[in-house]
A and B are shown apart, each in its own frame.
Chain A
Amino acid sequence: MIVIQSSADDAATQDVLDWMRYLRQDVPIADLYDTLPVDDLSLYIGDNGAAKNAVTVNGRRLDIGGIRSSWFRRGRFTMRADSKLPSWNRLAATENEDVLGLIDDLIYPGDRSINKFSDVLINKLKCLALAEKAGLLIPATLVTTAFTALLQFAREKQLIILKPIGTPFFKIACNERYNAHVVNKVSQVSHAQIERLGVLYPGDKMSTTCAQQYIEKKWEIRTVFLNNECYSMAIFSQQNEQTRIDFRNYDEERPNRCLPYSLPDTIVEKLRKLMLLLNINCGSIDMIYTPQKEYVFLEVNPVGQYGWLSTHCNYFIDKRIALLLLSRYDE
């Protein structure tokens, strides 16, 4: 059996499934979507019990031993206690996280899987540190709760980027009709702008802020890393004011020009080393190519979008994923 876990509205997943059905009709596929409850499970650790491991998810039984390849893209499993005692439910939730972690490892063992649920929880700050360890250039980065430290950083670098550490959205309910959505997007700010914020922080304390040195770019590079190979695309976003800081501030009227791109072997090797350090085998990597002809690593999203890159560059990544899953199934 091949397990594919995703969200029901993810077009990329359906493209992979289409390829799999086109290439092979005899392979049983368990496609699981969105948030699914774990109904029951029996997992044996040691004592040669692995063959008996089974999990029933939303009424669907998965014999772990029968899973020959798997792909985590989106979605999650949940387990909850239904006691009337909230304190017990909280304790059980902690225990269940451990069990869900074990299920994740069993369904997505790495050597036979593409991504796993725990990849979603990647720590972007640790990732930067590991990128440097892998030999990649990274932007000078400051994580601080002290406004004066931020001000000093901005003074040294002149132009900086403020970026969210985690999710960039939060919602405020205004009334029954209106919600306010605050989008903490990547912002380029000058030392003078930071200086003007000083009045807001009389005690110097602020919530943890991530700042990076602004790096001039010739173009941006989005790379899909799959099965130890890099599929890259150059994005010419620098000439467009809307996309100059971050191509993801899409300009729908005048889309950025995008071309297939070959990374130097030395950079590919460093990316392989980074993915090994991160223990993830698939992801979307963002980099900058500078006027000084340097490659600067920005971040990796383990479950990022690739359909857009694949279409622009004719990489057929959906087909490659289908073939990879099928080849592991046949091993």
Chain B
Amino acid sequence: MTSEISFYRSSVQAMIQKDAPAFPAGIQFADIMIEDKHYSDPAASEEEDPGGSHAVAPSFFYKQISRFINPELL
């Protein structure tokens, strides 16, 4: 699974670099998280985003954070 995740992450990174003019410059420093849709963790629903940094964005991101895997943390 780790190699698959690394592959998709690298692919997204490469795509963002190749198509750089279509994105704001900040995207080159973005975090890329890979979501495994087959993974579920009921305890993850207890997570919250206390300061509301992502109030506009889908709340599921922080609520189901354990479904997301950042290869740098592996």
What residues of chain A have their CB less than 8 Å away from a CB belonging to chain B? 7, 9, 11, 120, 147, 150, 162-169, 172, 174, 176-185, 187, 189, 193-194, 197, 200-201, 203, 205-211, 222, 246-248, 250, 284, 301, 303-305, 307-308
Contacts and interface: CB of A to CB of B under 8 A. Distances in A.
Contact of B34 (A167, A179, A304, A305): A179
Interface string B1-21: 000110011011001110011
Contacts, number: 130
Interface residues of B, number: 42
Contacts of B30: 182-185, 187
A182 B16 contact: yes
A182 B32 contact: yes
A4 B12 CA distance: 41
Contact of A200 (B9, B12, B17): B17
A184 B21 contact: no
A162 B12 contact: no
Provide the main secondary structure of the chain B interface. Answer: mixed
A181 B20 contact: no
B26 A180 contact: no
Contact of B55 (A11, A177, A208, A305): A305
Interface of B: 4-5, 8-9, 11-12, 15-17, 20-38, 48-59, 61, 68
Provide the main secondary structure of the chain A interface. Answer: mixed
Contacts of B11: 174
Contact of B21 (A167, A181, A207, A284): A207
B26 A209 contact: yes
A254 to B, nearest CB: 15
B34 A248 contact: no
A178 B51 contact: no
Contact of A284 (B16, B24, B52): B52
Contacts of B4: 178
